[in-house]
């Protein structure tokens, strides 16, 4: 019996389609997710990334990690966001503190999107391996020079007031991320 090349090719095509997935970079959690003001706040880091537009943040080659804050609506969000929705227009500043010598880096997370969805982030040069504390300072839309994001305030369609600025802290250990692409 002769092999049916069309059937074999079709089988290989289906097998390839079933096993192909988007390649996602390895993310390392920074502490545990926290709930505040109707939002779930989670932080992760991964290898430094390239951005468009260029010069939006430090180049990947000059950074150790890409640090992210995933900020999504929790079930009890009073600002009109459905559970799991990304919260836009926030002002997110950060501090990374090396715990053994208190060296500190400060910066601003920019809003951006990747193949795993929108988030706030920045490429960061750390102070070597060790134990760190990440402090996120989160302010609502419209504060301190950030763009406004209007909200309905009428009786029929209005949502709750924006939250007051707050901070959350996460502790993590950084031992490196390995060679880019070697996940």
Calpha distance 85→40 (Å, rounded): 10
Give the Cα-Cα-Cα angle 38, 93, 69 (nearest 5 degrees): 55
Chain segment 127-156, per-residue pLDDT in tens:
999 999 999 999 999 865 556 788 899 999
Report yes or no on 74 lying in a domain: yes
Number of domains in the chain: 1
Contact 141, 149 (CB under 8 A): yes
What CATH code is carried by the domain that includes residue 129?
A: 2.60.40.2480
| Residue 82 vs residue 183, higher pLDDT | 82
Report yes or no on 8 lying in a domain: no
Report yes or no on 6 lying in a domain: no
Give the Cα-Cα-Cα angle 33, 73, 154 (nearest 5 degrees): 150
With 60 as the cut, is the pLDDT of residue 32 above it?
yes
Q: Which helix (H) or strand (E) holds 122?
A: strand 117-124
């Amino acid at each position: 019996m002769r092999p049916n090349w069309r059937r074999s090719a079709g089988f290989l095509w289906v097998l390839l389609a079933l096993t192909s997935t988007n390649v996602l970079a390895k993310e390392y959690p920074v502490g545990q997710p926290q709930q505040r003001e109707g939002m779930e706040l989670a932080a992760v880091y991964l290898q430094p990334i390239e951005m468009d537009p260029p010069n939006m943040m430090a180049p990947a080659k000059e950074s150790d990690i890409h640090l992210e804050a995933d900020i999504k609506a929790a079930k009890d969000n009073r600002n009109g966001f459905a559970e799991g929705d990304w919260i836009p227009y926030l002002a997110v500043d950060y501090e990374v503190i090396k715990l053994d010598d208190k060296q500190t880096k400060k910066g601003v997370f920019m809003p951006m999107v990747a193949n795993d969805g929108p988030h706030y982030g920045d490429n960061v040069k750390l102070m070597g391996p060790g134990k760190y504390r990440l402090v996120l300072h989160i302010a609502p839309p419209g504060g301190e020079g950030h763009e406004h994001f209007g909200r309905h305030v009428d009786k029929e369609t209005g949502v709750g007031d924006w939250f007051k600025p707050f901070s959350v802290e996460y502790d993590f250990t950084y031992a490196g991320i390995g060679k880019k692409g070697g996940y």
